[in-house]
Homo-oligomer: A and B are copies of this chain.
Amino acid sequence: MTTTAYERLVAKLKRVHYLGTVAGLLGWDEQVNLPPDSADQRAEQLALLAELQHAAAADPEIGTLLAELAPASAVEAKSNTMGYTFPQDADRGVVVREARRDYERVVKLPASFVTEKARHSSAAYHAWAAAKEHSDFSAFAPFLQKHLDLARQEAAFLGWGDRAYDYAIDKHDPGLTAAKLTELFGELQVGLVPLVGAIAASSVRAKAGVFKNFPVHAQRDFLREVTEKLGFNYRRGRIDVSLHPFCEGSGADIRMTTRFDADNPLDSLFSSIHETGHGLYEQGLPLAAQGTPLGQNAGMGVHESQSRLWENQVSRSPAFWRFFEPRFRQKFPAQLAAVSSADLYLAVNEVAPTLIRVDSDEVHYNLHILLRFELERRLFSGELSVADLPAAWNALSEKLLGLTPTSDRVGVLQDVHWSGGAFGYFPSYCLGNMIAAQLWFTVRKVYPELDADFEKGDFSRLLGWLRTHIHEQGRRYEALELVRRVTGEELTPKYLLRYLQERYAPLYLQ
């Protein structure tokens, strides 16, 4: 049998993909199952897989095939931006275009650079963990500086010249730039400040300490019921327990995790729903295209839009709780006996500023991101030195959140991301919030009956729409193009602002 160049390319891409899924499974297992003294052995396995995956991705045969497939495909890729339906040839154009993007990123980075960055990330992670424990930024500063230097080198290798921060952003969300984010986030901030101020001045407060002694096994049953109703297919995935919730895997095997606290059932429930949003996206990518860009997600921002939409727009809504409140009470009759419906719904939608991003409500969350984006931008432009970062963090925290960190541990050292050199990652979270809200207003125009669906515990119409318009597109479009096509409008923060206003004003500002 003879195979075409395109078939050979796809076979090569699938090797890279499956090696990635194996490493992903080992990473999941490390968080969920690994015995305490097995970390060194796991590190050996992962280092070998990373090496093999890099070799597979940099296989010169991929370059040869791409060169052979280029001319025709370039035309196809162009014809491909004209409408919603895609003949097979156009699909091939997308695959070739995105495969080239990946291939160039891999082959332009010298192996010595990749090794140096991996080694530094490992050292920097441990330095960050120790520095955070002792709340001592100065111990982490040289590692952060080195990561900044490496990020600039990486951008230069990839041909981005001195646009290193744009490159860092593009890595997570192709097509986005610092300038575009500055514009979007600036408009968002203008709208957010008065809302946050008004809520801060409100006398309405969620009651503290109303949730006590929710047995873990019953929490587990309830979140299983909720996530199945939302549409997660447990024949192609599972949920387990880990220290920090996450979602791993692709195609037919999606592994989500959660954590349980007997006195905080909503934390487990909402973080599980968040991960379910990620999981639904991965389950909705076209399985037949697995291993090719058409079977891959469209970047971090779009991914986050899916988790946020299910977590916030859907699951903090009155309609959602009209269906699930009786079920929640049935699982925990004694624990909820003294909690009124109004108090429960207020707890679900509690708004209060906090120093810690991951503990933040969805109103303040965006401010945490604006802070980090602004500091990354200044670090890369040279306006801000690493030494001055903690003071700049604290000043921005006071300005945006009205809170000054009492120590670096709850300030500049709180997040793990920079210890891995993951600059340009934070903006994706806020981008996700904006996209989620814009999709939400779009789908509710198409299906005004969604609230009625939710009240019956039926989320299939919403999921079906997301499947068609987002999930099944794979990596066909960059985030901004996808939003434009699906919502008929450029990405704008106005829907996020409108959503937050509509959700929280009735609760806090009456």
Select A40's contact among B33, B52, B237, B252, beta carbons within 8 Å.
B252
Residue of B nearest to A233 (CB): B37
Give the shortest distance, in Å, between A8 (CB) and chain B (any CB).
Answer: 16
Q: A340: CB under 8 A from chain B? A: no
Contact A253–B15 (Cβ < 8 Å): no
Interface bits A16-37 vs B (CB < 8 Å: 1, else 0): 0011011001100100011111
A25 touches B29 (CB 8 A): yes
- In Å, the complex CA distance between A112 and B63 comes to 28
- Nearest chain-B residue to A287 (Cβ)? B41
Which residues of the partner chain B approach A234 to less than 8 Å between Cβ atoms?
35
Are B26 and A22 in contact (CB-based, < 8 A)? yes
Contact mask A33-57 → B, CB, 8 Å, 1/0? 1111110111011001100100000
Q: Complex formed: what's the CA distance from A15 to B51 in Å?
A: 11
Tell whether, in the assembled complex, residue B235 and residue A35 are in contact, meaning their CB atoms are under 8 Å apart: yes
A48-B235 in contact (CB<8A): no
Decide yes or no whether A236 CB sits under 8 A from chain B.
yes
- Taking the complex as formed, is A390 at the interface, i.e. its CB lies under 8 A from any CB of chain B? no
Q: Tell me whether A171 is interfacial, beta carbon within 8 Å.
A: no
Which residue of the partner chain, among B21, B25, B42, B52, contacts A52 with CB atoms under 8 Å? B52
Whether B253 lies near A42 (C-beta < 8 A) is: yes
- Add 4 more A-B contacts to A25-B26, A34-B253, A41-B252 (CB < 8 A): A15-B48, A18-B45, A35-B253, A41-B251
Interchain CB contact (< 8 A) of A238 among B35, B49, B237, B238: B35
Contact with B along A334-354 (1 / 0, CB 8 A): 000000000000000000000
Tell me the chain A residues, 241-297 only, with Cβ under 8 Å from chain B.
Answer: 251-253, 290
The interface centre, meaning the residue of A21, A22, A45 with most chain B CB atoms within 10 A of its CB, is A22
With both chains docked as a complex, state the minimum distance between the C-beta of A275 and any C-beta of chain B, in angstroms: 15
Q: Whole-angstrom distance from the CB of A497 to the nearest CB of chain B?
A: 39
Minimum CB–CB distance from A490 to chain B (whole Å) comes to 38
> How many Å from the CB of A105 to the closest CB on chain B?
22
Q: Are A236 and B25 in contact (CB under 8 A)?
A: no
Which of B22, B26, B252 is A37 in contact with, Cβ under 8 Å?
Answer: B252
Query: Can you report 24 residue pairs joining A to B where beta carbons are below 8 Å apart?
Result: A15-B48, A18-B44, A18-B45, A19-B48, A22-B22, A22-B45, A22-B48, A25-B25, A25-B45, A29-B29, A34-B253, A35-B234, A35-B237, A35-B252, A35-B253, A37-B235, A37-B236, A37-B252, A38-B237, A38-B252, A41-B251, A41-B252, A41-B253, A52-B52
Option from B22, B35, B49, B237 in Cβ contact (under 8 Å) with A236 = B35
Contact bitstring A100-111, B, C-beta under 8 A = 1, else 0:
000000000000
Q: Specify which chain B residues have a CB less than 8 angstroms from the CB of A15 in the assembled complex.
A: 48
Q: Which of A26, A48, A238 has the most CB of B within 10 A?
A: A48
Closest to A49 in B: B22
Cα distance A22–B21 in the bound complex, in angstroms: 12
| Complex Cα–Cα for A234 and B504 (A) | 49
Closest to A42 in B: B253
A44 proximity list for chain B (CB < 8 A):
14, 18
Which residues does chain B contribute within 8 Å of A25, judged by CB atoms? Answer: 25-26, 29, 45
- Chain B min CB distance to A12 (Å): 12
Interface members, chain A 42-78 (any B CB < 8 Å): 42, 44-45, 48-49, 52
Q: CA A94 – CA B69 in complex, angstroms?
A: 51
CA distance A122 to B40 in the complex (A): 34
**Distance between Cα atoms of A142 and B29 in the complex (Å):** 40
Q: Which residues of B contact A14 (CB under 8 A)?
A: 44
Contacts of A38 in B (CB 8 A): 236-237, 252-253
Top 5 A-B residue pairs of the complex, sorted by shortest distance between their CB atoms: A38-B253, A37-B235, A41-B252, A38-B252, A36-B235
Residue among A29, A38, A42 having the largest count of chain B Cβ atoms under 10 Å:
A38
CB-CB < 8 A to A236: which residues of B?
35, 37-38
Chain B: minimal CB distance from A291 (Å): 9
Chain B residues with CB below 8 A from A252, complex form: 35, 37-38, 40-41
